[in-house]
């Protein structure tokens, strides 16, 4: 699929419209950023959390695409592999250094780097934005507190972060897998996307 899409993008289309779920969207991310082509999505099938967060539905797809409400979005990176919505993993004996200002130590937690949330979700009223050049770290520890007087999940917005510890394979957008967590970053405003009026951010 990658080669077919790349061949079509060399013809300089006005927009690349993908029909499918998160897996299909994730496959074309690096190409649409390389060619600087706006991305339109018609969600089809199961696992459409990316489209949900962007306010896109199958029913409203024709009107949304013709309205061409385009925004410039950030992409998150783990070891230079891009993700649009999130990166998630389970970790143990973790030390997290945030913005060189403070550190957190915890164990046996589910961790998630979030660029934006699916529709209908929020954490403590916070809603990450894929337009601010930052990611949020979500830490979920079952039935325990990480900070005094603060229930999990804990959400932290950061500029710079370093995470050390034992962890399992990292999943990007629920699809791609990365085996190491050496470098976390943000590519600011590199992706042009057509969004719906009911997006989550």
Whole-angstrom Cα distance, residue 131 to residue 199? 13
Residues 101, 33: one domain?
no
Residues 26, 101: one domain?
no
In a domain, 201, yes or no: no
pLDDT digits (tens, 9 = 90+) for 51-67: 999 999 999 999 999 99
Residues 58, 96: one domain?
no
Which has the minimum average pLDDT: 37-46, 129-138, 145-154?
A: 145-154
DSSP helix, strand, coil percent of the chain (3-state; round to 5):
15, 45, 40
Residues 67, 89: one domain?
no
Residue 143: its pLDDT value, please?
59
pLDDT digits (tens, 9 = 90+) for 134-171: 999 999 886 555 555 444 578 899 999 999 988 889 99
Residue 48 is part of which domain span? 2-74+189-194
Q: What percent of the chain has pLDDT over 90?
A: 78
> Looking at the predicted structure, is the pLDDT value of residue 124 above 70?
no
Asked if 15 contacts 37 with a C-beta cutoff of 8 angstroms, the reply is yes
**Which residue, 173, 58, 177, 76, is CA-closest to 118?**
173
CATH number reported for the structural domain that contains residue 67 in this entry: 3.40.50.10330
Peptide bond into 159 cis (omega under 30): no
Residues 52, 89: one domain?
no
Residues 20, 92: one domain?
no
Residue 168: its pLDDT value, please?
82
Residues 180, 87: one domain?
yes
In a domain, 199, yes or no: no
Domain count, the chain: 2
In a domain, 117, yes or no: yes
Residues 163, 100: one domain?
yes
In a domain, 119, yes or no: yes
Residue 155: its pLDDT value, please?
86
Residue 69 contacts by C-beta under 8 Å, 6 or more apart in sequence? Answer: 194, 195, 196, 197
Instruction: Say what the pTM is.
Output: 0.89
């Amino acid at each position: 699929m990658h080669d077919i899409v790349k061949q079509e993008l060399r013809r300089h289309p006005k927009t690349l419209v993908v029909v499918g779920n998160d897996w299909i969207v994730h496959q074309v991310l690096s190409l649409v950023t390389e060619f600087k082509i706006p991305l339109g999505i018609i969600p089809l099938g199961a696992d459409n959390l990316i489209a949900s967060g962007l306010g896109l539905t199958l029913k409203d797809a024709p009107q949304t695409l013709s309205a061409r409400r385009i925004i410039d979005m950030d992409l998150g990176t783990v070891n230079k592999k891009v993700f649009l919505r999130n990166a998630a993993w389970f970790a143990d004996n973790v030390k997290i250094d945030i913005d060189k200002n403070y550190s957190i130590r915890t164990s046996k937690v589910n961790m998630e780097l979030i660029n934006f949330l699916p529709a209908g979700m929020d954490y403590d009223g916070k809603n990450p934005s894929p337009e601010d050049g930052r990611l949020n770290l979500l830490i979920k520890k079952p039935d325990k507190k990480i900070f005094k007087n603060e229930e999990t999940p804990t959400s932290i917005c950061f500029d710079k972060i370093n995470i050390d510890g034992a962890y399992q394979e990292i999943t990007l957008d629920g699809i791609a897998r990365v085996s190491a967590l050496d470098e976390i970053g943000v590519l600011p405003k590199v992706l042009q996307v057509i969004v719906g009026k009911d997006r989550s951010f």
